[in-house]
Amino acid sequence: MTSRIPDTDYARARAKMIDRLKHRNKIRDEKVLAAMASIPRHGFVEKMLAYGAYDDTALPIGWQQTISQPFIVARMIEILCEGRELGRTLEIGAGCGYQAAVLSRIASEVYAVERLRMLLDRARENLRPLRLPNLRLKCADGTNGLPEAAPFDTIIVAAGGLSVPPALKTQLTPTGKLLIPVGDANQRLLLIERQGNIFKESWHDDVRFVPLLTGTE
């Protein structure tokens, strides 16, 4: 990292972020907090923005996309972790790769897909120094899921659409869980828990994600 800000300052900012997630945002899952503490978020944003990487905001990562707010990353993973292991996990919308890195600390295997080739190249660069052996990235349209690696215990979608792409439900294991932002201007997190042929739905936090689009570029 060639930033002029000393690493100790980043470590301090990261510790503050974890403190905020715990005490203000009430993130309780120690696994999630430990995973977030272990990933240097400043390595996933432009150098110009690195000083703000630990603030609780989304930041631009180019190509009109954003790195998700730390609270939302933590909250989504916490919802999916409740009372279970993440297991084999598919992330749709890898963006700069930050959430994929956090997931790889908790899940047994992570497949992360991104529809923008250039952004995926950036994610690969961001992730390389971390050497995460259980994380695979692919340029693909995640509305089709990832049939060649299905089924998944967990599917997490980092972009919002008006409905749930049907392929995603079919690529869950019989006890798999899927979390996806649904809505237009006002989105909410929809959790789908599969129990065999039954898909139980519950609504969680209000969120604002970039749109879930189709095709690759």
Residue in 10, 54, 71, 98 binding ligand SAH, rule: CB under 6 A: 98
Whole-number Cα distances in Å, 126 to 51, 74, 75: 16, 20, 23
| 163 given a catalytic annotation | no
Size of the site for ligand SAH (CB under 6 A): 25
92 is a site residue for ligand SAH (CB under 6 A):
yes
Task: Pick the closer one to ligand SAH by CB: 109 or 141.
Answer: 141
Determine, following the binding rule CB under 6 A, whether residue 213 of this chain makes contact with ligand SAH: yes
Q: Which of 155, 132, 153 is nearest to 142 (CA)?
A: 155
Tell me which of 159, 172, 179, 190 binds ligand SAH, using CB under 6 A: 159
Binding positions for ligand SAH, 55-74, rule CB under 6 A: 65-68
Closest-CA residue to 64 (of 1, 3, 109, 116): 116
Amino acid in position 202: S
Please tell me whether residue 111 binds ligand SAH under the rule CB under 6 A.
Answer: no
For residue 121, give the H/E element and its range: helix 117-127
What count of Cα atoms within 13 Å lies in the side-chain half-sphere of residue 118? 6
Least distance from ligand SAH to the Cβ atom of residue 212, Å: 4
Q: For residues 116 and 141, is the Cβ–Cβ distance under 8 A?
A: no
Selecting among 68, 104, 108, 202, the annotated active-site residue is 68
Nearer Cβ to ligand SAH, position 35 or 94?
Answer: 94
Locate 132 and state its tokens: 């995460």
**Is the omega angle on the peptide bond into residue 133 within 30 degrees of 0, that is, cis?**
no
When asked if residue 186 is in the footprint of ligand SAH (CB under 6 A), the reply is no
> Rounded to whole angstroms, how far apart are CA atoms 208 and 205?
10
Question: Any contact of residue 110 with ligand SAH (CB under 6 A)?
Answer: no
Both structure tokens of 38: 């272990």
Specify the residue, 4 or 66, whose C-beta has the smaller distance to ligand SAH.
Answer: 66
Does 214 help bind ligand SAH (rule: CB under 6 A)?
A: yes
Asked if 80 is part of the footprint of ligand SAH (rule: CB under 6 A), the reply reads no
Going by C-alpha positions, the residue among 49, 105, 109 that lies closest to residue 74 is 105
The minimum distance between CB 101 and ligand SAH, in angstroms, equals 8
Longest dimension (CA), the chain: 54
Residues in contact with ligand SAH by CB under 6 A are 65-68, 92-96, 98-99, 113-116, 119, 141-143, 158-159, 210, 212-214
Which residues are designated catalytic?
Answer: 68
